[in-house]
Amino acid sequence: MDKFVIKGGPRLQGEIPIGGSKNSALPALAAALLTDEPVTLRRIPRVRDIRTMQRLLVDIGSQAEVDGETIRLHTPRIVSSEAPYELVKTMRASSLVLGPLVARTGRARVSLPGGCAIGARPINLHLLGLEQLGARIQQAHGYIEAEAPDGLRGATIHFDRITVTGTEDLIMAAVLARGETLLRNAAREPEVADLCALLSKMGAQIEGAGTSTIHIRGVEMLHGADHTIIADRIEAGTFLIAGAITGGDLKIVDCVPEHVGALVAKLLQAGAEITQTDASSVQICVPKRLRSVDVTTEEYPGFATDLQAQYLALMTQAQGIAMLVETIFENRFMHAQEMARMGANIRLEGRQAIVAGPSELTGAGVIASDLRGSAALVLAALAARGETVIDRVYHIDRGYEKIEAKLARVGAQIRRVE
Ligand code: EPZ
C-alpha cells in the first residue's frame, strides 16, 4: 500500500491546473449506456473511481477506448444488466447505472451498497423515483432488481431530500421514458447540469438543469455525442485551501471560479486575498494569519460537504474558534481524530466540530480513512512541523489525479513511497 511522506513548512507558490470533475465524469460514463452509438467524453480525470466505472461498463457490454483524458464508449448491446457487489462495494456511484439500464433494457440488477466511512448513504430515493416512473423494485440477496418490461413512463417526483446521484439516476431514467417527467427538489450541483448538457447533446429534451425543478420530455432514442467534462470544483477548492494553509501565493487555473464561490466567500472573510484573474483562474495570496470563520455544509450553491475536511485542516491554523456543522453526512469527521494526533485542538459534538486555533501541528503517522478526509490530512501535513507519513493513500487516488506531483510543482515536499 502506498504512503505519502510530507515535510511541512514551504509556502506554496505558482500555478496549479485543475482536471476534469470526477463526480461529473461518473454519471457521464453511465449515460453512455443510454445509446447504441459511440459517446466520446473528454477531460476525464485519471483516477481510480473512473477506472472502476469503466470496468463496470465493460462488464455491461460497452467497448471502451482510452486515449489520455479521452474515453470513447460504444455500447451496441447490453450483455449484462448487473452491477455486482464486488464493484459496488468499492464505489457507491456504481448505482448510477441503475437508471440507464432500466431505461434502455427494462431491467437492472444492482447490488445494494453497504455502509460507508462517511455515513449510511442509502439509495431509497433513487428506488422510490424509479417506482414512480413505473419500475417494479424487489430486493433479494443484497441486490435490487428493477423491472419495467413495457418501458418507463413519465411522472412527477418530489425528492424528500436533495440527492445528487439520485437526481442524476432519475434524469437518466426519465430521458427515455414515455411522456413528461417533473423532478422537484432536485439537486442543483454543477455536475447535474453537466450531465444534462451531455444528455441534451445526445438528443434528450431537458429544461431547468441547474435549478431545483427539472422538466424532461421523454424521447424514443438517444444518439452519440462528444462532450468535455467540467473542471473539478472540489480539486480546485482543495488547492485553494493548500495555498491558504501554507500562507502561499497560488494561482488555480482551468477551473470555474463560480463553482467555488461558497469557499471563496469564507476564505475572504477569514482574511485571504483572492482575485479572479480571468474567466477560468483564481489567485489566492495569504500574507498573514487567517481568522477563524464558521461553516455549515449545504447542498450547492452552499458550502460543499466535500470541502469540509480540508476547511477543518485550515481552521486549525486560523486565529480563534470556528464551528463546523456537517449537515449532509452523519459521520464525516474521521479526519478530525487524525488531525488531533498531529496536535490540532478539535472537539466533536455529534455533527459539529469546534476547532480552536492556531495550534502548532507536528508531523506524525496518520491513516487516511476516506477520500476528502485524506486530502485534509495532506493539507494539515503541509502546515505541520517535521515529517508526516500518511498511510492508505489509495483513498486519495480515488479522486485526485497525481495530487503529489501537482503539489510538488508549487513547492511542497511530498513524495509517494510504495
Ligand atoms: C454525491 O454523493 C457525491 N458523489 C459525493 O461526493 C458528495 O459528497 C455528495 O453527493 C453530496 O454532495 C458523487 O457525485 C459520485 P447524496 P451522493 O445522494 O449522490 C441522503 C466525494 O468525496 N440520501 O446527495 O451519494 C444521503 O445519505 C463524494 O467525491 C438518502 O437518504 O450523495 C446523504 O445524507 C463523497 N437517500 C444525503 O441524502 C437516498 O436515496 C445527500 O446524499 C440518497 C441520499
Predicted confidence band of residue 118 (pLDDT cuts 50, 70, 90) = confident
C-alpha to C-alpha distance for 74 and 69, rounded to whole angstroms: 17
Which pLDDT does position 115 carry in this prediction?
64
- Residue with the smallest CA separation from ligand 1 atom 41 is 163
**Residue whose C-alpha cell is 440527492:** 163
Residue from 23, 171, 303 whose mutation best tests the ligand 1 pocket (most atoms within 8 A of CB) = 23
Q: Which protein residues touch ligand 1 with a CB less than 6 Å away?
A: 23, 26, 92-93, 119-126, 161, 163-166, 191, 305-306, 328-329, 371-372, 399
CA dihedral (78, 81, 87, 93) positive or negative? positive
Query: Region 363-387: what's the mean pLDDT?
Result: 96
Cα of 299 to ligand 1 centre, how many Å? 10
C-alpha to C-alpha distance for 223 and 218, rounded to whole angstroms: 14
Which pLDDT does position 330 carry in this prediction?
87
- Residue with the smallest CA separation from ligand 1 atom 13 is 23
Q: Which entry of 116, 196, 255, 285 is annotated as an active-site residue? A: 116
Which pLDDT does position 189 carry in this prediction?
98
- Residue with the smallest CA separation from ligand 1 atom 10 is 164
Predicted confidence band of residue 376 (pLDDT cuts 50, 70, 90) = very high
Atom index in ligand 1 nearest the CA of residue 118 equals 35
Question: Is the CB of residue 127 less than 8 Å from the CB of residue 112?
Answer: no
The torsion region of residue 298 among left (phi > 0), alpha (psi -120 to 50) and beta comes to beta
CA angle (165 as vertex; 183, 207 as ends), nearest 5: 35
Query: Is the pLDDT assigned to residue 38 strictly greater than 90?
Result: yes
Query: Region 365-376: what's the mean pLDDT?
Result: 94
Predicted confidence band of residue 216 (pLDDT cuts 50, 70, 90) = very high
Atom index in ligand 1 nearest the CA of residue 398 equals 29
Which pLDDT does position 3 carry in this prediction?
96
Q: What three-state secondary structure class fits 8?
A: coil
Cα of 158 to ligand 1 centre, how many Å? 17
Question: Is the CB of residue 239 less than 8 Å from the CB of residue 283?
Answer: no
Query: Region 198-217: what's the mean pLDDT?
Result: 98
- Name the percent of the chain lying above pLDDT 70: 100
C-alpha to C-alpha distance for 219 and 368, rounded to whole angstroms: 45
Give percent helix, percent strand, percent coil of the chain, each to the nearest 5: 35, 30, 35
Cα of 165 to ligand 1 centre, how many Å? 6
- Residue with the smallest CA separation from ligand 1 atom 4 is 23
Predicted confidence band of residue 119 (pLDDT cuts 50, 70, 90) = confident
Residue 255 is a catalytic residue: no
Cα of 236 to ligand 1 centre, how many Å? 19
Query: Is the pLDDT assigned to residue 128 strictly greater than 80?
Result: yes
Q: Give per-residue pLDDT as tens, 226-272.
A: 999 999 999 999 999 999 999 999 999 999 999 999 999 999 999 99
More confident residue, 119 or 331: 331
- Residue with the smallest CA separation from ligand 1 atom 27 is 121
Which pLDDT does position 113 carry in this prediction?
81
Atom index in ligand 1 nearest the CA of residue 128 equals 40
Cα of 123 to ligand 1 centre, how many Å? 9
The torsion region of residue 134 among left (phi > 0), alpha (psi -120 to 50) and beta comes to left
- Name the percent of the chain lying above pLDDT 90: 94
Cα of 177 to ligand 1 centre, how many Å? 24
Q: Say how many residues make up the chain.
A: 418
Residues forming beta bridges with residue 90, ordered by sequence position? none
Which pLDDT does position 88 carry in this prediction?
86
Query: Region 63-91: what's the mean pLDDT?
Result: 94
- Residue with the smallest CA separation from ligand 1 atom 18 is 163
Which pLDDT does position 373 carry in this prediction?
96
Q: Is the pTM of this model over 0.85?
A: yes
